[in-house]
Amino acid sequence: MGIYILKRLILAIPTLLVASVLIFSLVHLAPGGPIRVMLGDYQDPVLIERLRHQLGLDLPLYQQYLRWVGNLLRGDLGFSITVHRGAPVAQLIAQRISVTLELATFSMVIALLIAIPAGIISALRQNRLSDHIARLVALAGVSIPNFFLGILLILIFGVYLRQPWGAGGFVPISRGLGKNLAHLVLPAIALGTAYAAIIMRMMRSAMLDVMGQDYVRTARAMGIAEGNIVRRDIVKNALIPVVTVIGNSIGYLLGGSIVTETVFRMPGVGNLVINGIFRRDFPVIQAVVLFIVVLRIVINLVVDLTYGVLDPRIRYGAAE
Amino acid sequence: MSEVLLSIENLVTRFYTELGVVRAVDGNSLQLGEQESLGVVGESGSGKTVTALSVMRLIENPGRIEGGRILFRGEDLLRKTERQMRAIRGKDIAMVFQDSLSSLNPTLTIGEQICRVLKFHLGLSHRERWQRAVELLAQVGIPEPERRVKHYPHQFSGGMRQRALIAMAISCSPQLLILDEPTTALDVTIEAQIFELVEGLKQAFGMGTFLITHDLSVVATFCDRVVIMYAGKIVEEAPVTELYDRPLHPYTRGLLGSIPPLEGGKDRLDSIPGEVPDLINLPPGCNFSPRCQQAGERCWREEPPLEAPAPGRRVACWKAGEPDG
């Protein structure tokens, strides 16, 4: 197991290398730059040159890239140019990561609490009314973009119903868990709905697949009660493929949090990267996107390790 | 024959598919005595497995048992509630399936799977159940049962898995054991071991066995009596020895002709021309007539009834016993 994890981590190095090149080139391909933003209407050529030199933007691109990677390896993520001038990016991420993680976790919890039972019921009552309703809702859930759902929720709960927690914003846990969670409910629903829909459909089809398996028939032939069969034969085995989807979709949650945080005015990492993009803050964009890549690699590894818990046929690293 | 254990009377099981009604089992009757070994032989799609699943009342949608009676120790299983059936399945009647890998839950250990059968039918304490599971594994000849009981199905070999499945089936000492091609996935030496094991258990528990197979040579060593099925119908029934000596139905003769003789001396094995008919659109007259080399005018038109030409024998053929033409 230890060797397996080590192997996976070594394999992550080329992934990160390619990701860093892509991120760097895309950022520098985009028109405009941080200096334009900094100077606003006052675009003095001499000043521009001086700032370019100061920020190292006058160096050839490959040198800029090497410098960035070199700094990264020393643990230096760089400094913000425009969003929070002079602030270390690492510190900016550290301040905001808890908001994003809380939002993503809460969305996932809500999504799983809805999706897993709905998928189970839907499969057990295949082609009956409850199944049709669940599938219809799931279809709608996948189809509605999360920013639209977010705006809709703010409109209903914030504007019409005038709920204090309905208009966005973020309350840190230090000011009370209740308030904190109340403000998270709408963003979590906006972000988690599509996620729930995907998982529910996956759970349903995995259940239907397992229900046709021979070992389910064996259990019935042995006189096992139906509830026990559903729990130990059907759900347990159906969860294996669903965990893959759950894991893969965590990337979707991180991506979706960028939009959701903006709609709900939440001071998270997603919000930071959006501001960075609008204001051409190269170090911020590069560092945050790379950070999200690292997060994803780690999450994928964790997901792969959970298979071993669910499926005894998978054992890592050691031969039988 | 001793006391009747299982008596199937005019069983009709049909599947209502989108393409039409599949007459999987079409009005069959058969009996199985206590501690008797019955072999049910036929090609795929002849209705042997559906007959067994009907006895277990495990026919799933779109299938339906449409008629007849299934008397087990004199009680009609078709009149039992689902709850009553659950108490019978695994306890009084148990079934061993074909593919042992797909028939066992991959995420439960062998012990957990045996213990849960014990729990549902016999209760027992947790410790007693595990104790019994180990004993059962030992009884079916699995070495190191204390260690093996904690293993998952994929850690067993094919033959060992089939033994484990048999251990599960006999865990509550059933009176009737249905074996659905239990050795199809295994090689010949393992096959012989499995049948030896089942034979021993049969003696020890006094079970009747209902063996489904397409292999007449297996039947010869293991069964007392044989039923031959074709396209959902019983076409011949006989005590094993008589069937081999004097097969009456042309289909049975075809099946026997396709077994390689021990002495050799045959370059090519005989085969039965054609294929099993479509169970949705059965031919008029005898179901076997399109493939039968002896078929005549009457065979195309009228369906032959299942008649008893001698005690213990039944055959459904207009030309029963006539030499091959």
**Contact: B95, A311; criterion CB under 8 Å:** no
Measured distance CA(B55)–CA(B51) in Å, rounded: 6
Q: Which among A225, A236, A240 has CB closest to B86?
A: A225
Cβ contact A72:A56 at 8 Å: no
Q: Determine the pLDDT at residue A316.
A: 59
Q: What is the mean pLDDT of residues A146-167?
A: 90
User: Is A139 in the same domain as A183?
Assistant: yes
Chain A positions touching B169 (Cβ under 8 A) are 222
Same domain, A15 and A147: no
Hey, which residues does B176 pair with through a beta bridge? Answer: B93, B208
Dist. CA B210–CA B176, nearest whole Å: 7
Q: Which tokens belong to A246?
A: 């759950």
Q: Render pLDDT for B190-247 as a digit per residue (tens, 0 to 9).
A: 999 999 999 999 999 999 999 999 888 889 989 999 999 999 999 999 999 999 999 9
User: B135-138: long-range contacts (C-beta < 8 A, 24 or more apart)?
Assistant: B136/B167, B136/B168, B136/B170, B136/B171, B137/B110, B137/B163, B137/B164, B137/B167
Q: Which residues are within 8 A (CB) of A200 and not within 5 positions of it... i.e. 6 or more apart?
A: A114, A115, A116, A118, A119, A122, A134, A138, A141
Task: Please state, in angstroms and rounded to a whole number, the distance separating the CA atoms of residues B69 and B7.
Answer: 8
Judge if A64 and A117 occupy the same domain: no
Same domain for A67 and A105:
no
Pairwise CA distance, residues B218 & B200, whole Å: 16
Mean pLDDT of B16-32: 93
- Domain identity same for A46 and A160: no
Provide the percentage of residues in chain A whose pLDDT is more than 70: 98
Assigned CATH for B4-230: 3.40.50.300
| CA distance linking residue A187 with residue A104, whole number of Å | 10
| pLDDT computed for residue A319 by the predictor | 40
Residue A14 forms part of a structural domain: yes
**Least confident interval from A31-35, B82-86, B315-319:** A31-35
pTM above 0.95, yes or no: no
Contacts with A233 from chain B: Cβ below 8 Å: 105, 108
Report if residue A167 sits inside a domain. Answer: yes
Domain map of chain B by residue range?
4-230
CB A90 within 8 A of CB A196: no
CB of B201 closer than 8 Å to CB of B180: no
ipTM, two decimals, is 0.89
Residues of B in contact with A312 (CB under 8 A): 106-107, 109, 152, 154
Instruction: Identify whether residues A65 and A202 lie together within a single domain.
Output: no
Query: Alpha-carbon distance B317 to B307, whole Å?
Result: 8
Taking residues A162-171, report their average pLDDT.
86
Are residue A159 and residue A201 in the same domain, yes or no? yes
Query: Minimal CA–CA distance to B71: which of B1, B9, B24?
Result: B9
Length of chain B equals 325
List the beta bridge partners of residue B16.
Answer: B21
- Give me the number of domains chain A comprises: 2
Contacting residues of B for A320, CB less than 8 Å apart: 155
Domain limits for position A157: 96-310
Contacts of B137 (CB under 8 A, 6+ apart): B110, B114, B145, B148, B149, B163, B164, B167
B59-86 per-position pLDDT tens digit: 998 999 999 999 999 999 999 999 999 9
Could B87 and A223 be called an inter-chain contact, meaning their C-beta atoms sit closer than 8 Å? yes
Partner-chain contact B116 A311, CB within 8 Å:
no
Tokens of A250: 């965590």
**Closest CA relative to residue B166, chosen from B126, B124, B196:** B196
